[in-house]
Amino acid sequence: MRPKPLSGFPEFLPNGRIVEQAVLDSLRQTFELHGFASVETRAVETMDALTRKGDITKEVYVVRRLHADPAGAASGDDLGLHFDLTVPFARYVQENAGHLAFPFRRYQIQKVWRGERPQEGRYREFCQADIDIVGENTLAAHHDIEVAVVMLEALERLHTEFGLPPVVMHVNNRKLAEGFYRGLGVEDHMAVLQRVDKLDKIGPDAVRALLVDELGMSGEAADKCLALATIQSADTSFVERVRALGVEHPLLEEGLVSLAEVVTAAAAAVPGRLVADLKIARGLDYYTGTVYETEMAGFESLGSICSGGRYDALATDGKRTWPGVGISVGVTRILAPLIARGQLVASRSVPTCVLVAVDAEETRGAALGVAAQLRARGIPTEVAPKADKFGKQIRYADRRGIPYVWFSDGSVKDIRSGEQVAADPTIWTPPAADLLPGVGRQA
């Protein structure tokens, strides 16, 4: 009986896996060009660590040994699979602070697990790629600009190299919103933020009703909160639009200046890929400064495919605090819909560039020798599995997408064009486009 697939645990066929690997390699290269070091953390964390930031136990996959002592279940040592890469990174920084040089720049590409209802763009097991810059006690504000630009460069490279849809990053600053609400005389700015965060889901009229009925705000103040949330611009014109609302507070000014610096820098580095969007909130009780959310053109229904922000305390040991800023991109969230629809494909499903034909089993050793010479020069090569007629060996290569067949007479054939030329395995090199599978967007 054929096994049933598990919903929410995507598995790619070889062609899709080649696409995924190419994307991950591209992300790694961009991150490393900017000096980010790779780390990998364990798959499990203690349940205490996973639930410390709030009640998210419904999302966590609990891990226990099958033959564990039942009495141990109440010991507080239960483990869970990490649901993001921030919680394990916070623990990693605290444990290894004495061995790290700050500000510490890390990227991390790993699987994470969440027990949520599977749907397109949301999975129970998926790959994330994070970048963070963490300081010891302090972290300069310019890093808020840097992580945004680095991630946008990484995503733009995926667009230009592989044809992934372009993205737009929406950026706000929590200080801006908090200062604005405090300038209106609001004491519980988080309560306002939580309700304004529902704007896209329930609409402005419903949000206004919540502000007035639940928080006791005046109609005029509620209208100004809504007016702030509707401001969006790709340049610094948002600053004057906010000031025109007539609200003043030192924290508001600080947030405006910080956000304007991010927008200006991004416009110069990656034009057209970042906008100020003053309704963005992110992680209501977690972020403390700049916040980011990113949409992919044509796939807005997926929601944010890349998000993050500034936090004052990634971790603390009571004496030291490690503030940071980071952004995470949901690699599987981006790729799974494109691969499933056949919109992003590899040119072949195997890395092999050359198939060395076998005349007879008695001469297989010679074929293996040719393959070894080609591999020594970085050319992916395999030897035919059977000494069939050459026509069958060519068809075998064609089915696998292998572009070249090498024959014992010292010739190599491009089976796509039919061109066959004499060649020496110590010097012959295929065109660069054929050496490895190409990855690209299909209409």
Q: Residues annotated as binding site for L-histidine?
A: 84-86, 114, 128, 132, 282, 286-287
Phi, psi of 296 (to 5 degrees): -105, 130
Lateral strand order in the sheet of 62-63: 44-46, 79-81, 62-63
Question: Strand, helix or coil at 371?
Answer: helix
Which residue numbers belong to the known binding site?
84-86, 114, 128, 132, 282, 286-287
Angle formed by the axes of helices 14-33 and 331-340, nearest 10°: 150
- CA 240: distance to chain centroid? 33
Give just the sign of the alpha carbon dihedral 123, 310, 22, 305.
Answer: positive
Give 399: exposed, middle or buried? Use CB within 10 Å, 0-12, 13-18, 19+.
exposed
Say which residues have a Cβ less than 8 Å from residue 79's Cβ, sequence separation at least 6. Answer: 44, 45, 46, 47, 62, 63, 64
Q: How many residues are there in the chain? A: 443
Q: With helix as H, strand as E and coil as C, how does 84-119 read?
A: CCHHHHHHHHHHHHHHCCCCEEEEEEEEEECCCCCE
Residue 309: CA atoms inside 13 Å, Cβ hemisphere, count?
25
Taking the C-alpha atoms of residue 187 and residue 8, their distance in angstroms, rounded to an integer, is 42
Q: Which of 194, 187, 192, 179 lies closest to 247 in space, CA to CA?
A: 179
Whether 88 contacts 57, CB under 8 Å: no
